[in-house]
Amino acid sequence: MRFLTDDGRFGFLVAPSEGRGMFRFQLIIDSQLIGDAEPCILGTAMARLRGLAHLEDDRLGLLFSNRDAVLSALLAEEELHDRTTLSIAESLDDWLIHGYVYKGDVVVVARGDEDGSLMGPTLVSVVASVEYDPIIEAVRGYWSSVNSSSIL
């Protein structure tokens, strides 16, 4: 099941997999599907995606003019790094993903990460909180419903 913004530039792919409590979980960032299709457990992802850090650092305002400068700040500044790094599912292990709320928008920044070496373009999706919140609640509701029915 895909849960997307109206423009399709941000969202989630969540699908039940074989095995109790296992799901395929991928992100859509900057209109690109990222992550692999390997099954994983989503409890941590569901909690973490609902509670993104609210940040006010002015450097984050450079996002539209210099994506890589924002990613560098997220990597170099311990407080920013620790509060924004999203290690949410095994299917995203080959990606460095940061998520946070800045001035009423949810921002997700991703870049390929192969053995600690960043590669490929920096992908960014910016979604108004009023659009993100219903999407993440729909994802959580779907996951919870499928997960609870597979336990029975």
What string of pLDDT tens digits covers the 152 residues of the chain?
A: 999 999 999 999 999 998 888 999 999 999 999 999 999 999 999 999 999 999 998 888 877 788 888 888 888 889 899 999 998 999 999 999 999 999 999 999 999 988 778 888 899 999 999 999 999 999 999 999 998 876 54
3-state secondary structure of 93: coil
Q: In terms of pTM, does the model score above 0.75?
A: yes
Annotate 45-65 with three-state secondary structure: HHHHHHCCCEECCHHHHHHHC
Can you name the residues that pair with 113 across neighbouring β-strands? 118
CA atoms of 14 and 5, how far apart (whole Å): 15
Every domain of the chain and the residues it spans: 2-151
